[in-house]
Amino acid sequence: MMPIQLILLALVICVSSAAAQPAPPPTQEPPRPATPTDAPEPRPSSTPPPASPYAQPSPYAQPAPYAQPAPVAEPTAVAQPEYPPAAPVEATAPPAESKAGPFARGKKTASILFGFGSTFSSDYFILGGGLGYFLVDGLELEANVEVWMFGDPTITKLTPGLRYVLHMVPVVKPYIGGFYRYTFLEDPFENVSSVGARAGVYLVKSQRFMLGLGAVFEYYIDRDYDTEWYPELTIAIAL
């Protein structure tokens, strides 16, 4: 009995040892290189795969080149209408200032006249005023109104006339002139007409202010009145 039990025990121990040993690994063939035919065919996809949130940019990645702008087409030249050349503009010098000063053509004057005279057996103080316009250098067309006061009768005289001033003479300017005069008399006297002449000199104080001293000769043409001489003082201002 003992030998049989020992044999069975020995078999059990052998079987247990054989089961405990690991099986030898199966023999693996070395991998063979992939061929183009073995690569899986890519499947078309309309959307790119999502980028991994953990993907880090490569420090060696080259930046994409900037897109060059398309060349701009040059504008087409538009034909300009041809105009005739403009006539050259001639430079005109400003008109020279006349040497006649306040007696130059186109000048205007305003004057106040003082004087003393005798007529109709009475002595008078003469006060008058006038306006003048120089038609040419030195030649003045004038019109004056005079009132003879402090005598009997009171006399009012309206006198248009011409006066020429020798403006080329320095400092003192001689003048001569002639006039027609219509005299208004108080009743019972009748109005009368006369002609006359005047002569004197102007002392020019400035381009606007003149002082004149002269004498007047007057002859009545439609009445038997005495011929008259009397002095006059004129203050004239160029306008």
Residue with tokens 């007047």: 216
Angstrom distance (rounded) from CA 205 to CA 173: 11
Contact 143, 113 (CB under 8 A): no
Angstrom distance (rounded) from CA 159 to CA 41: 131
Closest C-alpha among 14, 236, 58 to residue 133: 236
pLDDT of residue 118: 81
Angstrom distance (rounded) from CA 121 to CA 103: 38
* Residue 13 CA from chain centroid, whole number: 129
pLDDT of residue 32: 61
Task: Tell me the pTM.
Answer: 0.57
Angstrom distance (rounded) from CA 148 to CA 156: 6
Angstrom distance (rounded) from CA 164 to CA 110: 16
Q: 3-state DSSP: the chain helix, strand, coil percent, rounded to 5?
A: 10, 40, 50
pLDDT of residue 196: 94
List per-residue pLDDT tens for the chain, 239 residues long: 456 667 777 776 766 665 555 555 555 555 565 554 555 555 555 555 555 555 555 555 565 566 666 676 666 666 666 767 766 666 565 455 567 888 999 999 999 998 888 877 788 999 999 999 999 999 999 999 999 999 888 899 999 999 999 999 988 999 999 999 999 988 888 899 999 999 999 998 788 889 999 999 999 887 777 788 889 999 999 88
Please give the DSSP secondary-structure letter assigned to residue 207.
S
The residues that bridge with 180 in the sheet, in sequence order, are 195
Go through the domains of the chain in sequence order and give each one's CATH number.
101-238 (2.40.160.20)
Angstrom distance (rounded) from CA 206 to CA 47: 103
Angstrom distance (rounded) from CA 236 to CA 111: 4
Contact 109, 238 (CB under 8 A): yes
Please give the DSSP secondary-structure letter assigned to residue 2.
H
Angstrom distance (rounded) from CA 169 to CA 55: 112
Q: Kindly calculate the radius of gyration of the chain based on its CA atoms and give it in whole angstroms.
A: 67
